[in-house]
Structure 1
Amino acid sequence: MRIRQYMRAMMLLLALALTACGGGGGGGGGNDTNDPDPPAPQPPPQVENFQLTGTITASDSQAVDSDTNDPTRVVLPNDTVATAQPIGNPVTLGGYINEAGMGPAGRSRGPGDFDDYFIVELLAGQRITMLVADFEEADADLYLYDAAGTLLDFSLDTDDVETIVVPADGTYVIRAAIFFNATNYILAIGAPSAATAVPTQHDIVPFEAIVTYADTLQASSANSSRSALEQRMGLTQRAGGPGRNRRMVMARTGPATLTASARLGRMASIRSEITDPALRDRWETLQTIKTLRRDPGVRYAEPNYRVRALATPNDEAFPVQWHYPLIGLPDAWDTTTGDPNVIVAVIDTGILAGHPDLAGQLVTGFDFVSNPTSAGDGNGIDANPEDPGDSTSAGSEAYHGTHVLGTVAARGNNQIGVVGAAFTSRAMPLRALGVDGGGTTYDVEQAVRYAAGLPNDSNTVPPQAADIINLSLGGG
């Protein structure tokens, strides 16, 4: 109403201004006795005031952190399991956490608001997601406890999203924890579904990291600075080198050591909350990597993820290859069956080199399984990609590499066995998965580098680099 009256008044004033300028397009300054008299000025419109009263109630599925940085709000502390803030389910909640002295001026800037705890009834398979609003300048993590305060799971990424899947129906405590700086966040809990039951945490090698140093620490002249960083963080280089990734092993530490303090900082207190040894090792490994990422001398730091061959069906009819027509391969073979000058590297469990369907199809390969126990052939890295087989498993991992390589390049028109998708191309067998079908991202990386003709832990490269690299494997 007031806007409409204001616009009406402005139109009247504009009309007065235009008429005061004189009419006509000539713009002359003389008096024209034929000009009409200007309209009399109108009084300004009266302003009408309105008053609204009532109560605004937010939806039960919307909530706000009870101890934000806003100095005008009533604060209800939620900084411990005992003072956890009750929330509904499902819910979308806005919150704020900060280190002491970090973030904008407000109630918590000085002392810090390191943690927010929330207590809630959850269902198995529900996904708890925390969106870190200021992830480019800050880092926050997500923890899940049972009602008694036992730490069950965590998500320690450094990007904008942290996610945990609820393991079973029950009462839980959710913790949003600042790792550094200050950030707003959105905590969301949605309805359970079959899709959300997929595990969100990848399997990693405990106390290992893949690290690339910044240029300032790559040169030999920086050896002392690099050694100081490695000593402070309890790191030992086991593989890799200048210009590429290094596989670093972390010394296992006690809770009160200087190395643990350097790695974990304020978060060291969480170590004592984790009763499961495997979960504790995983947590310390990831926390150490997060600390490394913040060091200016480190360009890249990642866990050494475990990977394994994806499942191969063992159904009796699977070798019939009924799937080829579904992807149009017979039609494609009318155009090409491959090219002997095209090399496809297959990084997997190795091969049975004597298989008749692979005769004449292979170029020189290599074995990059660095752990002698996992290798199953009596040594670590060597020039023989032969798959010794897995005597403990007759399932999906047994001779997985031979199956995959055969799918790529098994010999065609030889009246035996199966036929590969590109049966006139050649394949480079590279072994990076051990006898149980498992391996690590570091070993896989070395195989990829070899296939591409780049420096790697074998200290050799193939006569001709691969044109295509196939990895039929996954994490977890």
Structure 2
Amino acid sequence: MMANFLPAWLLRSLSMPIRSHVRPVVMLLSSLWLAACGGGGGFIEVPKEPDAPASQFNISGRLSIAAGISVDGDTNDRFAEYTNNDDPDNPQIISNNALVHGFASARGTGGDSSQERFTSTIDEDDYYQVNLQQGQTVRLQVVDTSVSNDLDLYLLDSSGTNDIDFSQNEGETGNQEEVSAPTDGEYLINVNAFSGISKYILQILPASSTTVAPPADFVAGELVVQYKPAVGIASRSSATQPRPQLVTMNSARTAMVSSNDPLQVFNPELYEKRRTLIEAKRMQKQDDVEWAEPNYIVQPTLIPNDTHYAQQWHYPAINLPQAWDLSTGDVDAPQEPVIVAVIDTGVYLAHPDLAPKLVPGYDFISSTSISRDGDGIDANPDDPGDSDTPGASSWHGTHVAGTVAARSNNGVGVAGVSWGAKIMPLRALGKIGNTFDISESIRFAARLSNDSGTIPTRKADIINLSLGGTGFSNTLLSAITDARDAGVIIVAAAGNENVSTPFYPAAYEGVIGVSATNPQATKASYSNFGTYVDIAAPGGEMQQGVDFGVLSTVADDSSGVRVPAVAFSQGTSMAAPHVAGVIALMKAVHPDLTEAELVSLISSCAITNKTTACGRDNQLGYGQIDAYKAVAEARRLAAGGTTPALPAIVQSDKTQLFFASIVSEQSFVLSNVGDNDVTKLQITDSSSWLTITPSAGVSNGLGTYTASVNRTDLIDGEYAGTIRVTYEDSTAAGVTKTLQFSVTMQVGTVISAGVMTQQYVLLEDADCVTEDCVLQTVFADSSTGYFVFNGVEPGNYRLYAGSDIDVDGLICGAGETCGAYPSLGAEQIIRITDRNVTGRDFLLNLNGAGGVASSGTLQIQNLQPAGQPGKAR
């Protein structure tokens, strides 16, 4: 009913989404009033209203801030309280449920220095200190989105390690950045202005039950750069396309430019890593660069355990003996043996179970600091071990190679999956590894140009990558794409952190991602899972006294000299070579097997242990590999194949709902952004005061819903609830997915512990029919929230309030606090006849973070310092 009293221009604003508002031209604040204001917001010594002439009256009240809301200590508003948070050694402390609105700039604003703090200087970095729980996500919303305004988010471990997680989105995804805490602990959050100027909203979300993978590590000071082809070269063939280049950053130049960066003093290693990330993003924008990225460090996906000796239970688990009745992988002339490239720590070349099975390989470890063989790249892929301590090396590549194709049926040692396949040993992991060395190994295996200057006599048919990390690498993706184009099938381990975070290279398109199973054919306790898992294979389970590892070839150097041995290990590293070996068996009976045919067989469950309705799940993909089915299918394979569609993903257009004190209904829309159909969608809520009602147009659970609240018999305060949506993908029956978001309801007036920056209170003529309706603006006291308008003549008025942290002369913009009396969206007329009006208290919330709906930006006009007489009519 009250909406009928709103002026026409505000009614129009309320009916439009935030981005459709046309902001009125900013009216600069009067220099006369600014001179009278001085600085800060402490204009009210005593909250006492001065006497007004008999025909004029006062309107007063207090502002309060919704719980959890905080503010950046150094916004652009010169009148706001100032606390420098540019130094990681002196960060701004926030709570682990904070909602912070802030300002950052990579250049001066060029505005009025009497009003703005950063007219000719920059506010490039804001640092916040926070204690996070494992799984808590930090979300940065960049408010003023454009190509030129780009803020990035970094999560730094403040406990003394050099771990850094980052989010550097741009373009269509550049308005939101997210990082997550992998463990409980104290962190530094760094908001960095890469370019331009923007307000932002920093939100600390509740902990998720999903385990978070540690951040992707990379080599500080090194970039991998893909330059664009020369003008006139349009072909993507390996003959014309430039290969990715390893670029070492110019330390002297960067030190000269950034010597004043406080992060360099706080932690030189973190500084080096962050400048590597920033430099990669800068290079990405060069006209001659297709992409640039850090040189990511990858690790073998082995989980170290004590050595045990037992039978190879993992082969009968995939019906391998039955498969050997059809084929052992040996081929008849003139067909040549199937070659599996094992890109890993190299292979102990003298192992008797492997020596007869090897074809020439290469060592692509370029750095002598990690190689342990004393030199750079060369033609010797022999594994010297990855530890300086005798008996402590993993012999990871040797173990993987033995699973693929150890010499079999010879009365000694262990058997490999494919008796007839050959191994191409490629050394890319030493003490650690990086994406550049691995990409060069992939190119060698596919007979593509590489840094060795040589190519093998025959390309590999299959590449096994029992390694990886959480960092997306264009370097690896480029090499994998070229290898796939050359007809090579690529298999990779899913990782061992028991998380759903994408693990690369297994998560790249076209790579067969393999999770690990235990003897019960269910997911091993350590194995990663997620949408990128295509298939599963035995990886072993050696936890809490369970001694079911995968037995394969290793070396033993505990005496100081390498000798052949066998040992148990567990991990997705052990699972992947089972799949690579089975594909080698398939290639032996069907040499022309293509990636498309293989994908079709996997996605139809034709070669897995799923015997009922075929469907994909995030634990085991399309199921555990069945070697017998695989070889049988290869023998009678028909051409063709398809790739799985994008799984069903339900999204809501609201990330949270906030019900101000007199708001009782809000709507939200559920939609499917995936390719597969949504089934069995259900909505539940956690609170007795909350009701969810579908609209008439809801179909299969998708469409518009109304959330309504009932405040009957509830005491004043803020109430929190959750809306939970569960559903299934039509292609993965029985696998439940979940979407949930929070609901906050205000009952009565809540004086909260939110942190208030400088607030501007606007008195609007309620009878105004133009867009110039603000009669007077005053400062609210920043510590008490108290405000007063003096000399107000009889009439009808409305009250609005908010911050102006970017000093554009407007309140209630996205990323700023906003409120109205008694509640935004349900403004009431304040009628003055013959007396002062007091107690007009109301709550401010943060605009643009799901907290409030915008009422349209309001222009600061006729600014009055608090307590200064001024005529309102």
- 1:130 aligned residue (122, 129, 139): 139
Residues 310 and 474 of structure 1 are in contact (CA less than 8 Å); yes or no, is this contact kept in structure 2? yes
Partner of 2:96: 89
Partners of 2:310 and 2:201 in 1: CA distance: 49
Partner of 1:301: 292
- Most deviating of 358-367 and 461-470: 358-367
Residues 362 and 428 of structure 1 are in contact (CA less than 8 Å); yes or no, is this contact kept in structure 2? yes
SS at match of 2:360: coil
**Residue identity opposite 1:389 in structure 2:** G
Change (3 A) 1:416 1:108: farther
- 1:388 aligned residue (370, 380, 384): 384
- Most deviating of 396-405 and 438-447: 396-405
Partner of 2:535: none
Partners of 2:229 and 2:99 in 1: CA distance: 43
Partner of 1:402: 398
Partner of 2:22: none
**Residue identity opposite 2:340 in structure 1:** V
Residues 226 and 292 of structure 2 are in contact (CA less than 8 Å); yes or no, is this contact kept in structure 1? yes
Partner of 1:413: 409
Partner of 1:25: none
Q: How far has the Cα of 1:375 moved from its partner?
A: 3.2
- 1:324 aligned residue (315, 318, 333): 315
Change (3 A) 1:161 1:425: farther
Change (3 A) 1:63 1:455: same
Partner of 2:433: 439
Residues 354 and 406 of structure 2 are in contact (CA less than 8 Å); yes or no, is this contact kept in structure 1? yes
Partner of 2:246: 247
Partners of 2:448 and 2:462 in 1: CA distance: 15
Q: How far has the Cα of 1:410 moved from its partner?
A: 1.2
Q: How far has the Cα of 1:453 moved from its partner?
A: 0.9
Gapped regions of structure 2 (runs ≥ 5): 4-60, 170-175, 234-239, 332-336, 471-873
Give per-residue Cα distances to partners, 1:195-239, cap 9 Å, x unaligned.
65643241x2232211122235899xxxxxxxxxxxxxxxxxxxx
Partners of 2:285 and 2:426 in 1: CA distance: 35
Give per-residue Cα distances to partners, 1:107-149, cap 9 Å, x unaligned.
89966873574756524546452345559763423355969xx
Residues 141 and 177 of structure 1 are in contact (CA less than 8 Å); yes or no, is this contact kept in structure 2? yes
SS at match of 1:290: helix
TM-score, scaled to structure 2: 0.38
Partner of 1:228: none
Q: How far has the Cα of 1:164 moved from its partner?
A: 5.6
Residues 349 and 431 of structure 1 are in contact (CA less than 8 Å); yes or no, is this contact kept in structure 2? yes
Partner of 1:41: none
Trace 1:225-304 onto structure 2 (pairs within 5 A). 243-253=242-252, 259-260=254-255, 269-270=260-261, 273-304=264-295
Trace 1:416-427 onto structure 2 (pairs within 5 A). 416-427=412-423
Partners of 1:173 and 1:165 in 2: CA distance: 11
Partners of 2:203 and 2:313 in 1: CA distance: 44
Change (3 A) 1:136 1:428: farther
Partners of 1:441 and 1:201 in 2: CA distance: 12
Change (3 A) 1:110 1:154: farther
- 1:181 aligned residue (188, 191, 196): 196
Change (3 A) 1:88 1:55: farther
Partner of 2:442: 448
- Most deviating of 297-306 and 175-184: 175-184
- Most deviating of 341-350 and 175-184: 175-184
Change (3 A) 1:319 1:325: same
Q: Cα RMSD between the aligned structures? A: 4.5
Give per-residue Cα distances to partners, 1:6-65, cap 9 Å, x unaligned.
xxxxxxxxxxxxxxxxxxxxxxxxxxxxxxxxxxxxxxxxxxxxxxxx999876356676
Say whether 1:468 aligns with 2:462: yes
Say whether 1:165 aligns with 2:181: yes
Residues 102 and 181 of structure 1 are in contact (CA less than 8 Å); yes or no, is this contact kept in structure 2? no
- 1:114 aligned residue (112, 123, 134): 123
SS at match of 1:417: coil
Change (3 A) 1:66 1:335: farther
Partner of 2:67: 60
Change (3 A) 1:393 1:193: farther
Partners of 2:250 and 2:232 in 1: CA distance: 22
Residues 109 and 120 of structure 2 are in contact (CA less than 8 Å); yes or no, is this contact kept in structure 1? no
Q: How far has the Cα of 1:469 moved from its partner?
A: 1.0
Q: How far has the Cα of 1:462 moved from its partner?
A: 1.1
Q: How far has the Cα of 1:87 moved from its partner?
A: 4.4
Q: How far has the Cα of 1:315 moved from its partner?
A: 3.6
**Residue identity opposite 2:221 in structure 1:** F
Change (3 A) 1:339 1:290: farther
Say whether 1:200 aligns with 2:225: no
Partner of 1:457: 451
Q: How far has the Cα of 1:312 moved from its partner?
A: 4.7
Q: How far has the Cα of 1:417 moved from its partner?
A: 1.5
**Residue identity opposite 1:453 in structure 2:** R
Q: How far has the Cα of 1:456 moved from its partner?
A: 0.5
Partners of 2:117 and 2:280 in 1: CA distance: 28
Partners of 2:343 and 2:456 in 1: CA distance: 14
Residues 207 and 249 of structure 1 are in contact (CA less than 8 Å); yes or no, is this contact kept in structure 2? yes
Q: How far has the Cα of 1:370 moved from its partner?
A: 2.1
**Residue identity opposite 2:299 in structure 1:** R
**Residue identity opposite 2:222 in structure 1:** E
Q: How far has the Cα of 1:314 moved from its partner?
A: 3.9
Change (3 A) 1:277 1:334: same
Give per-residue Cα distances to partners, 1:350-400, cap 9 Å, x unaligned.
112232222432222112122345433343222221223356245674321
Trace 1:137-148 onto structure 2 (pairs within 5 A). 138-142=150-154, 144=156
Partners of 2:435 and 2:275 in 1: CA distance: 19
**Residue identity opposite 1:189 in structure 2:** I
SS at match of 1:345: strand
Q: How far has the Cα of 1:451 moved from its partner?
A: 0.4
Q: How far has the Cα of 1:88 moved from its partner?
A: 3.7
Partners of 1:216 and 1:406 in 2: CA distance: 44
Partner of 1:367: 363
Higher RCO, 1 or 2 (CA under 8 Å, sep at least 6)?
2
Partners of 1:276 and 1:85 in 2: CA distance: 18
Partners of 2:194 and 2:109 in 1: CA distance: 12
**Residue identity opposite 2:366 in structure 1:** S
SS at match of 2:251: coil
Change (3 A) 1:214 1:108: farther
Trace 1:309-320 onto structure 2 (pairs within 5 A). 309-317=300-308, 320=311
- Most deviating of 110-119 and 379-388: 110-119
Residues 212 and 301 of structure 1 are in contact (CA less than 8 Å); yes or no, is this contact kept in structure 2? yes
Q: How far has the Cα of 1:288 moved from its partner?
A: 2.3
Aligned residues: 390
Partners of 2:64 and 2:309 in 1: CA distance: 60
Change (3 A) 1:376 1:99: closer
**Residue identity opposite 2:315 in structure 1:** Y
Residues 348 and 430 of structure 1 are in contact (CA less than 8 Å); yes or no, is this contact kept in structure 2? yes
Say whether 1:351 aligns with 2:314: no
Partners of 1:102 and 1:454 in 2: CA distance: 50
Residues 308 and 433 of structure 1 are in contact (CA less than 8 Å); yes or no, is this contact kept in structure 2? yes
- Most deviating of 192-201 and 301-310: 192-201
Change (3 A) 1:145 1:399: closer
Partners of 1:334 and 1:169 in 2: CA distance: 55
**Residue identity opposite 1:356 in structure 2:** P
Residues 132 and 181 of structure 2 are in contact (CA less than 8 Å); yes or no, is this contact kept in structure 1? no
Partners of 2:377 and 2:207 in 1: CA distance: 45
Change (3 A) 1:91 1:139: closer
- Most deviating of 334-343 and 301-310: 334-343
Give per-residue Cα distances to partners, 1:433-475, cap 9 Å, x unaligned.
22x3x22222111111100111001111111111211111234
TM-score, scaled to structure 1: 0.66
